[in-house]
Amino acid sequence: MPIFTLFTKIYNYFSVRRRILYSATLLGIVTCILVFSSIDLHEDIRSMLPDDRSEAALDFRLLQQAPFTRKVIINLSRAGDNDSSELLEAVDRLAEAMRSPFFTNVVTGPSGPDIWELFFWLMKKQPNLATAQDRKKILHELTAEGVQGKLEEMYARLHSPEGSALKGLFRLDPLALRRMGLEKIQFMNIIPGMRLENNHFISTDNKNALIIADTPVRITDTRQARQLLSYFQKLVAAVVPGDIDVSLISGHRYTLANTDTIKRDVFIILACSSVAMLAIFLLFLRTWGGLFVYLVPVSVLCIAAAGVSLIYETVSVVTIGFGAVLLGIAVDFALHVYFAVRHNSSNPAGAIGQVSRPVLFCGMTTLAAFSVLLFSSLPSQRQLAIFSMIGIAASMILSLITLPHLVRAKNEAIVSTKSSGEKIFKLASKWIVGAWLALLVICAWQGAKLSFDGDLRSINRVPQEIHTAENKLRQTWGNFRGNAVIFTEGLDLQSALETNERLFDYLSPKIPKGKMVSLAPILPSLGTQRLNQDRWNELWSAKKELARRLLVQEGRVFGFSARAFEPFFTRLAEPSPPITAENLRKSGLGEIVDALIISADDKVKVLTLVPDVPEVAALMDRRDKTLAAVRFVSQNRFSQIISRAIGEDFTKFIAKASVVVCLLLGLLFRNIKKVLLALVPVVSGLLFVFGVMGGLGIGFNLFNVVAAILIIGLGVDYGILVVCKISEGSNHATEKAVFVSGLTTLAGFGALVMARHPALHSIGVTVLLGIGAAIPSALFVIPALYQKKYEQSKTGNSVIGSR
């Protein structure tokens, strides 16, 4: 075919112009090395999530708007006695020191008036907040016995040390109606384990205090995130006493932990895989030409990294960590070219023409397998695909054009086709096929148990110190960072509040008190506020005189004057302006209001926080049509969505890759039997992976999908080479080339298994299993299935052992 004779012509052309070829190759590689060395690596969780219009992508964008997602949470704790004064002093000093450019809007407690002014504000707004339930409760308690109980409690508190401070409050509210307002405001307690002391957030045991801050530093900006954490550590050392423990929780710590772990892993992986490959080359090649084979994958890594950096503004550290895998792929083509040239001393140009056919088709099938990832909705998978495709293309070019001129040919002895090893293989072939089929059946049985893991925490590195800090924060303050979020959206705030009220009415009877955070009780829509005011005015128009008579009558028993509670009746006659988000902010609830009301894209979203448990998810699934537009978003539900997406992508990608590979195999062999034989390593590798992972209960994650595609690409390469060998009788030491290339591939994946980062480790484990099964199936099962043809085409190369 012209395409294959082309490489013979290229070889002959450069055989007298080698200096030009070497100079151009060296210049290109050096340029790529310089580009590679300047790449700024990033680790961004968004690259592992869909960026399309899918349900998962929408949920992730909404989760990013949840309270505390972009906040920096700082917990200060002090052991010892319950005196909190020293702890609060440290909080104030640290908060004062936390300034721009790293921190903005540093909060240690409620902004605005103190707690007493908030009480008085709530009493003034009672007409706007009084529900039908409140009206029933007031009527139930507006009896002689009810009023007597309230006055008795009031009398006792007036004679306590705090009595003088409470006198004005009791005159305004002798019936303790303020408690209804306090019950409503409890629905705005985002941090369940919190109480207030001197306007500070403090835990119930007086041993922990909280600082909440904003930061302009993006979570994905690793350079500035490192500067932020370094700056904060210096502040703590300068202003916080040594007996106070300070822990910071934010997305920046997770980003840095993952980035640093992967960078460390990349260094170790590339070093280990390079050393292992060098050892393999020294053992099996033992020539200077073998050194150049070793340099091909190293060069390809730099070329692929430089190429992907020209396409993407940022390069993921996971992509570069995938370089160890690319080393194992890239060296395969170089090894096959090396052995072809070494075993054809009389006509190296002809050997290049012959070997280019299987090598090109191997490269094309691997490229085709990776190309299906270009249609992935995950940026990380698309970047990995481009990285791998550039590397594979570069490897084929270097292997077929440059490497042949660096390899010296060597005469090889021809071994008889009737060797004793072949006779033994003939006798064992039935056992090989039987054992192979039995293994496939067992793997298929166990593979039915395979599950898909969409929990992003399983593919991210969380160091022990961060895990400990998270647990302490959760135990002290409650799981306020892990709540599910319900979004109600409207064209304006009032329409969003109306839907939010319906949501609250649906959920509040079904969720335990203290477990839901909602604006509905304290910020009803204007229409509901007018209805509440009408209900309030109607109530007191009918019962005002009864209340006055009971207060005078029962108050006389405790020594209260007849006009002691006149301020209460004056307040009932005062108008109550509508409650708005703005006057809620002025009342000291600004931080909570801003956390639960979000304006974006000309729409308003009101957020409700609920426990992220299956029972609440089930409630949301059963909601009626009036709440159809309400969106329930939770980390657990998000993981389920991602799991489904992984399963769908897995099936889709495997099917597409298989179809493309089969079409290419059909184009190459034009024989159904040969196509099926070439697929033996692919089927073996995939089923073995599914069987082991399903049997051990290991979930398939985002990166296992990439690994499965890799198994298809590499497995079919081995199949093509062996089928070409046994069906066409080519004399290129194919078995040894497949065996050595398999060892180098396993060396690359074996190094990945050593990674501490779960994403890289999962790729390593998956492909190590798959390729570990594909190589022996290519070397032993294909010849056993094709034994008769194998015997006729054997030209003397010993299985694996020929050199």
Q: For 461-506, how does the pLDDT look when each residue is reduced to its tens digit (9 = 90+)?
A: 777 788 788 888 888 887 777 788 899 988 999 999 999 999 999 9
* Contact (Cβ atoms closer than 8 angstroms) between residue 461 and residue 758: yes
E-strand ranges in 687-740 read none
What is the phi-psi region of residue 241: left when phi exceeds 0, alpha when psi lies from -120 to 50, beta otherwise? Answer: beta
Q: How confident is the model over 540-551, as pLDDT tens digits?
A: 999 999 999 999
Predicted confidence at residue 536, as pLDDT, reads: 92
CA dihedral sign, ordered 373, 65, 613, 494: negative
> CA 288 to CA 282: how far, in whole Å?
10
Pick the CATH number of 2-46+255-458+638-793 from 3.40.50.1010, 3.20.20.150, 2.170.190.11, 1.20.1640.10: 1.20.1640.10
Which of helix, strand or coil describes residue 598?
strand
By the 8 A CB rule, do 422 and 794 touch?
A: yes
pLDDT computed for residue 56 by the predictor: 64
State both tokens at 273.
């895989």
Positions of the chain with pLDDT under 70: 1-4, 40-57, 63-65, 111-116, 220, 286, 288-290, 317, 321-325, 327-328, 345-346, 408-428, 454-460, 728-734, 787-803
Indicate where the chain has its CATH 3.30.70.1440 domain(s): 72-114+199-249
Pick the closest to residue 174 from 558, 541, 584 (CA basis). 558
Task: Locate 48 and state its tokens.
Answer: 């592992």
Amino acid at 276: A
How many residues are given for the chain?
Answer: 803
User: Of all helices (H) and strands (E), which one includes residue 258?
Assistant: helix 251-284
In whole angstroms, give the CA distance from residue 459 to residue 381. Answer: 14
CATH architecture of 72-114+199-249: 2-Layer Sandwich (3.30)
Tell me which amino acid residue 393 is. A
Alpha carbon separation from 752 to 52, 271, 404, 410 (Å, rounded)? 30, 11, 30, 35
How many CB atoms neighbour CB 461 within 10 A? 22
Write the CB contacts of 559 (distance below 8 Å, at least 6 apart in sequence). none
CA distance 368 to 657: 7
- Residue 53: predicted pLDDT: 64
The pLDDT of residue 539 is: 92
Q: Where in the chain is the domain with CATH 1.20.1640.10?
A: 2-46+255-458+638-793
Local structure of residue 458 (DSSP, 8 states): G
Q: Which of 63, 59, 314, 69 is nearest to 215 (CA)?
A: 69
How much is the pLDDT for 448? 86
Classified as helix, coil or strand, 202 is strand
Pairing outcome for strands 603-610 and 484-490: antiparallel
Distance CA 701, CA 763 (A): 9
Helices (H), 372-457: 379-397, 420-447
Quick check: 180 and 579 in contact, CB under 8 A? no
Q: Other C-beta atoms within 10 Å of 511: how many?
A: 18
C-alpha dihedral sign at 643, 647, 650, 656: negative
Measure the CA–CA gap between 610 and 631, rounded to whole angstroms.
13
What residues contact residue 736 under an 8 Å CB cut-off, 6+ apart?
Answer: 284, 339, 797, 800, 801, 802, 803
Give residue 4's pLDDT: 62
Whole-model pTM above 0.75? no
Are the C-beta atoms of 720 and 365 separated by less than 8 Å? Answer: yes
CB 691 within 8 Å of CB 754: no
Of 225, 177, 169, which is closest to residue 43 (Cα–Cα)? 225
| Residue 588: count of CB within 10 angstroms of its CB | 19
Task: Encode pLDDT of 613-672 as tens digits.
Answer: 889 888 988 888 888 888 888 877 777 777 777 777 778 888 888 888 888 888 888 888
Task: Please state whether beta strands 194-197 and 104-107 pair in parallel, antiparallel, or not at all (unpaired).
Answer: unpaired
Helices 288-311 & 18-37, crossing angle to 10 degrees? 50
Token pair listed for 430: 């039935």
SS3 631: strand
Helix, strand or coil for residue 659? helix
Rounded CA-CA distance 350/354 in Å is: 6
Peptide bond into 101 cis (omega under 30): yes
Residues 102 and 231 sit within 8 Å (Cβ to Cβ)? yes
How far is Cα 533 from Cα 270, in angstroms, rounded to an integer?
Answer: 72
Q: Residues 6 or more apart from 520 whose CB is under 8 A from it?
A: 187, 497, 500, 501, 503, 504, 505, 608
Burial class (CB in 10 A: 0-12, 13-18, 19+), 739: buried
Instruction: Check the CA dihedral 659-665-669-675 and report its sign.
Output: negative
699 forms beta bridges with: none
Give the 3-state secondary structure of residue 251. Answer: helix
Question: Which letter does DSSP use for residue 520 in this model?
Answer: T
d(CA 683, CA 719): 11
Q: Report d(CA 433, CA 425) in Å as an integer.
A: 12
Q: What is the 3-state secondary structure (H, E, C) of 54-105?
A: CHHHHHHHHHCCCCCCCCEEEEEEECCCCCCHHHHHHHHHHHHHCCCCCCEE
Give, in degrees to the nearest 5, the angle at Cα 624 between 619 and 630. 75
CA–CA dist 332, 358 (Å, integer) = 12
Angle at 33 between CA 31 and CA 34, to 5 degrees: 65
Each as own residue / partner, the long-range contacts of residues 421-429 (CB below 8 Å, 24 or more positions apart, any chain) are 421/798, 421/799, 421/801, 422/791, 422/794, 422/799, 425/783, 425/784, 425/799, 426/787, 426/791, 428/784, 429/783, 429/784, 429/787
Distance CA 740, CA 744 (A): 6
Element (H, E) at 490: strand 484-490
